């Protein structure tokens, strides 16, 4: 047996480690796009400061979509109940603020940690079964939390929602205002840090192992990758980020209702990923911009039928060719990044 293993190892060609490290750490999108994206995210506020509340919604949606992309685009875990973590973070931050603990950063982190704990407990349920089983499990967890929030209305406000949240200034310096100026930069800062962390995570050996698991879980296990541990790990990270998004939503709006746990919120975030693309980090962010802009414009033009036009757009995207336009958008970035890498000495 040992002789056979030695022969196989000898047959494997030597790997240029510096080149391999450079290839793995290369971002999925070119650097120029990242720089332009974040400059635009900051600059757009000075162009339309009166729409800061809309910009804040986009930043929170982008973070929520990023959390789902980590499990869907990189680990292949399909979820119909990702709103469970968003809602958990929202209610934790909201309940803390209503009861006099309105410090933004501690409430934000605690909301993310509670969501991560729920993700850890429920993560073991998604290790077995097919994609259909995972869909039902994730949806079931979300529905359970929705009913719990409705049942304990003395804490959550039930169907009436959670009112009376009062937030302290961010870092003790920046007060929340009615126009959403502080809220936008607060949410944008959290989004930037989460994107930076996700970028490093995906470029790490852990992130590359996730890609191998998504391509072929059985083959990845035969290569020695702890598939169950990796899947639960990324599920907990995604739950933490979704909890942060929910906490941001509750803190910046100073309100939380059963809507944060609804199936419609989970469906919307899947639609956002379809619009923006999966598997290159910025897909959820681009999709959030497209979705909120379309929603705002179409709501002004046809208040009663804006959902029809977004649904029609979704059908067109799915039907054009065998690949979604969003996937082609992601492939364009990937090809550009590879070309830039090949040009390096």
What residues contact 57, with CB distance under 8 A and at least 6 apart? 292
List the alpha helices (DSSP H) in 204-278.
205-215, 217-222, 227-253, 263-276
Residue of 157, 170, 178, 172 lying closest to 255 (CA atoms)? 157
The span from the CA of 250 to the CA of 166, in Å, is: 10
**Digit-coded pLDDT (tens) for 182-240:** 899 999 999 999 999 999 999 888 888 888 888 777 787 777 777 888 888 999 999 99
pLDDT at 86 over 90: yes
The span from the CA of 340 to the CA of 200, in Å, is: 19
Residue 167 vs residue 345, higher pLDDT = 167
**Digit-coded pLDDT (tens) for 117-152:** 999 998 888 777 667 778 888 888 888 998 888 888
**CB burial class (10 A; 0-12, 13-18, 19+) of residue 131?**
exposed
CB 256 within 8 A of CB 123: no
pLDDT score for 2:
45
Q: How much is the pTM?
A: 0.82
What pairs with residue 174 in β-bridges?
170
- Give the Cβ contact number of residue 168 at 10 Å: 18
Residue 126 vs residue 292, higher pLDDT = 292
């Amino acid at each position: 047996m040992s002789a056979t293993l030695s022969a196989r190892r000898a047959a494997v060609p030597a790997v240029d480690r510096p080149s391999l490290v450079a290839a793995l750490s290369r971002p999925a999108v070119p650097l120029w796009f990242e720089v332009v994206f974040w400059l635009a995210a900051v600059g757009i506020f000075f162009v339309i400061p009166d729409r800061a509340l809309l910009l804040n919604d986009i930043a929170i949606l982008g973070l929520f979509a990023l959390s789902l992309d980590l499990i869907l685009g990189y680990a292949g875990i399909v979820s119909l109940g990702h709103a469970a973590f968003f809602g958990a973070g929202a209610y934790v931050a909201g309940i803390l603020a209503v009861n006099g603990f309105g410090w933004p950063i501690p409430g934000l982190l605690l909301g993310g940690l509670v969501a991560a704990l729920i993700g850890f407990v429920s993560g073991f349920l998604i290790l077995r079964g097919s994609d259909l089983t995972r869909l039902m499990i994730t949806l079931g967890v979300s529905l359970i939390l929705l009913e719990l929030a409705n049942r304990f209305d003395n804490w959550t406000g039930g169907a009436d929602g959670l009112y009376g949240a009062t937030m302290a200034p961010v870092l003790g310096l920046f007060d929340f205002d009615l126009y959403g100026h502080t809220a936008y930069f607060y949410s944008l800062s959290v989004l930037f840090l989460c994107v930076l962390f996700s970028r490093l995570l995906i470029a790490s050996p852990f992130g590359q192992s996730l890609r191998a698991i998504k391509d072929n879980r059985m083959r990845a296990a035969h290569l020695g990758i702890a598939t169950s541990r990796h899947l639960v790990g990324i599920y907990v990270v995604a739950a933490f980020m979704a909890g942060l998004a929910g906490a941001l939503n509750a803190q910046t709006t100073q309100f939380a209702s059963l809507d944060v746990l609804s199936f419609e919120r989970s469906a919307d975030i899947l639609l956002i990923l379809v619009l923006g693309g999966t598997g290159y980090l910025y897909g959820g962010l681009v999709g959030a911009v497209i979705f909120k802009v379309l929603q705002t414009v179409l709501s002004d033009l046809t208040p009663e039928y804006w959902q029809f036009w977004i649904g029609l757009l979704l059908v067109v995207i799915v039907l054009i060719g065998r690949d979604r336009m969003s996937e082609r958008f992601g492939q364009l970035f990937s090809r550009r990044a590879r070309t830039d890498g090949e040009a390096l000495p």
